[in-house]
Structures are given as C-alpha cells and as structure tokens.
C-alpha cells in the first residue's frame, strides 16, 4: 500500500551512486530517475499512455508557461495538470527560475517583487514573486514543487553569482513560508554558485538551514564543459543531506546522467530525448545515430529489436530515414518515443547495477559513448 505522505528512502549505495525510493500519494519513484519534460502539459509528440509504457515514473511541467497558457483558471477546473492532461503519476514543476535566465531580455529581477516579465506571447507585464510561483504550482497540483530562484547565465563573475545566491536564498525562505505545511507534497530548494566550490557550499548550507524535502543543483548545464560540471558535483554534492533526494536540473545526455549519478545525484530532467527526436537523432546502446544520414536509406534493421511500444521494433532505419527526408511528423513522434524509452531503459540498468554492486564497471563502459 502506498504511503500517503511524501518520503525518501536511501536503499543502498555503490560508491557515491545511490539507489533510492521516493514515495508520493500518486505513486512511488525509484531513483536514480529521469523525468521527461512536459513543458506545456505535453511531452512533445508523445501520447501520455505511451509515456507510461516506457516506464516513466514522473514528468516535469513548467510553471511559467502553464501560468501564461492555459492559465490557472482552466487548470483549477481540472483540479490541476494531472486531470488536464490525463496523467495519474507524479508531476514535478520547475518554478520559472530558468525562464528568468533564458528570457533575460524580457525581464528584470527585484528582490522584493520577484521576477518581472513581459510575456513572450503578448507582451503583457507579469510579476512572478516567490509566493506567486508557489501558488501557481499548487494550482497545477504538483507533487514536487520548486522554490523560485535566480539562475544566472554561465559566468565566472563571483559578484553576479553571489548576488544570485542572495536573491535565491531570500526567495527560498519566502517560498517555504508560502508552501506551508503539507506532508503530501514536497518543496525542493535550489543551490546556486556556478562552478565555484565555496559559493556552492555557501548556498547549500543556507538552504539546509531553511530545510527542504529535497535539494536541487541549479545553474549547471548552462554551457560549461561536462568535465567542469562533474568536478563541481564531486566537490559539493556530498554537502547535501544524505537522507533527502538530490536533483540536477536540466541534465542531460546519457553520459551526463551517468557521470552525475557517480557523484551522488538522484533525479534528472531534460528536453534532450524529444528535442533530438525532432531532429532525427536517436540514442541507442551503440551510441547516437543520426537517422538523416543517407547511409541508413537502405538499412532494414530497427533502432531497437526489444522495444515493442507502438511496435517500434517493426520500423526500419530505412523507413525512419525516409520519413525524416519527407518531413513527415511521424518521424519525430517515433524517434522521440524511442529516445524516451531508451532513457528509461538506461535508468533501469543504472539502478540494477547499483543494486548489484557493479555500477563502476557499467559507468566505465558507457560514460564516453554519448559524447
């Protein structure tokens, strides 16, 4: 029987790699876990029922985009995003902090007011305060809610990064107050600090004082080298509470995920599987395959002999190459579904190898395959 409250159990470790289990009222989540991104209430080009068949345990929604469209009034009528998109498993929502960075030409940061946006849809002025972000995520009925943070672009300027920590910590305190007491949902804090060990640790320690149900590493996967990301994770992840889930936001390729699991990270999200699928790039156990390449025009073998979702094992690389060249939407649908299936298969193998104590050999075999 499922626990009614949010909780996390660390089951075992193999080196720094952690095998765990998150309990939520909408189901449990085995970690390490990959969360497909459903920015606007859909994982692009894939039916929710097919997402479930891949073994996906939780998806990610976007506070900023859902606030703008369809809006809170519509979501409230459906009792949140689950009812709106017909998804009965857990949902995590980001707070809008990443959009503060990615839409920086359209916004400014105010410590008291929050992020001040102009909507990319109609130019309407929007003030997203820490409190408003939590309120929107409650209307989305998210199972895991993220605090509003300031996520700076890649920079070596310590003043900019220190200011982001100051703002993010202040907003984290306000987010915690607005979240209140709700043991059926979780609130995660987000650490900043760029690639500086001292700033990362400072941010983590301040968040630990506030206390959250889980902790995220933000401000990575913003253009730094993979080796730089792994280095800062190695230097700082062990400062996060051992008994809480650890989330690396916006990551990444299978190699990124594998390397971060090796540093003690539990949760991941990225648009990579579907964005790559829309460009004809597939992830396989033999590495990446660009199905646009003419060498696949006569290849009669499937991408994955074992995948029977939508009978994907029936479609040849030749056929997929034809669909891409013909600009048929089914190409992106099939390859995106394949990629999500591969990512979830990859995560299952990671979990199995941690459980069996063979993670390091698995890591060595695949860490460079997808770079």
Out of 213, 256, 269, 304, pick the active-site residue.
269
Backbone angles phi, psi at 196, to 5 degrees: -95, 120
Give the active site residue among 14, 94, 143, 213: 94
Quick check: is 269 catalytic? yes
Where does residue 228 rank: exposed (0-12), middle (13-18), buried (19+ CB within 10 A)? middle
CA distance 14 to 175: 34
Annotated active-site residue 256? The verdict is no
CB neighbour list of residue 368: distance below 8 Å, 6 or more residues apart? 255
Q: For strands 114-118 and 107-110, give the pairing.
A: antiparallel
Residues 232 and 161 sit within 8 Å (Cβ to Cβ): no
Mind telling me the catalytic residues? 94, 269
């Amino acid at each position: 029987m499922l626990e009614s409250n949010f909780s996390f159990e660390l089951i075992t470790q193999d080196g720094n790699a952690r095998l765990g289990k998150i309990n939520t009222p909408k189901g449990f989540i085995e970690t390490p876990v990959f969360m497909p991104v459903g920015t606007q209430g859909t994982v692009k080009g894939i039916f929710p029922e097919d997402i479930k068949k891949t073994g996906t345990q939780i998806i990610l929604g976007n506070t900023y985009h859902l606030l703008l469209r369809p809006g809170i009034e519509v979501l409230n009528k459906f009792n949140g995003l689950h009812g709106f998109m017909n998804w009965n498993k857990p949902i995590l929502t980001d707070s809008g902090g990443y959009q503060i960075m990615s839409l920086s030409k359209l916004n400014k940061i105010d410590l008291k007011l929050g992020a001040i946006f102009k909507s990319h849809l109609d130019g309407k002025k929007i003030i997203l305060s820490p409190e408003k972000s939590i309120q929107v995520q409650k209307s989305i009925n998210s199972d895991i809610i993220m605090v509003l943070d300031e996520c700076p672009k890649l920079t070596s300027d310590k003043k900019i990064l220190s200011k982001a920590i100051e703002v993010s910590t202040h907003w984290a305190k306000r987010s915690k107050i607005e979240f209140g007491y709700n043991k059926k949902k979780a609130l995660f804090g987000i650490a900043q600090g760029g690639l500086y060990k001292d700033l990362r640790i400072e941010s983590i320690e301040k968040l630990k004082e506030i206390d959250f149900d889980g902790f995220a590493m933000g401000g990575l996967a913003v253009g730094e080298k993979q080796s730089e990301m792994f280095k800062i994770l190695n230097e700082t992840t062990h400062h996060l509470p051992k008994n809480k889930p650890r989330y690396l936001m916006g990551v990444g390729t299978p190699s990124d995920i594998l390397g971060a699991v090796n540093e003690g990270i539990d949760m991941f999200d990225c648009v990579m599987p579907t964005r790559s699928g829309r460009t004809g790039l597939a992830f396989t156990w033999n590495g990446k395959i660009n199905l646009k390449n003419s060498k696949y025009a006569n290849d009669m073998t499937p991408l994955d002999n074992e995948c029977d979702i939508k009978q994907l094992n029936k479609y040849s690389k030749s056929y997929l190459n034809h669909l891409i060249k013909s600009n048929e939407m089914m190409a992106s649908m099939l390859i995106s579904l394949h990629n999500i299936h591969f990512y979830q298969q990859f995560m299952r193998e990671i979990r199995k190898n941690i459980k069996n104590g063979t993670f390091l050999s698995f890591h060595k075999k695949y860490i460079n395959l997808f770079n």
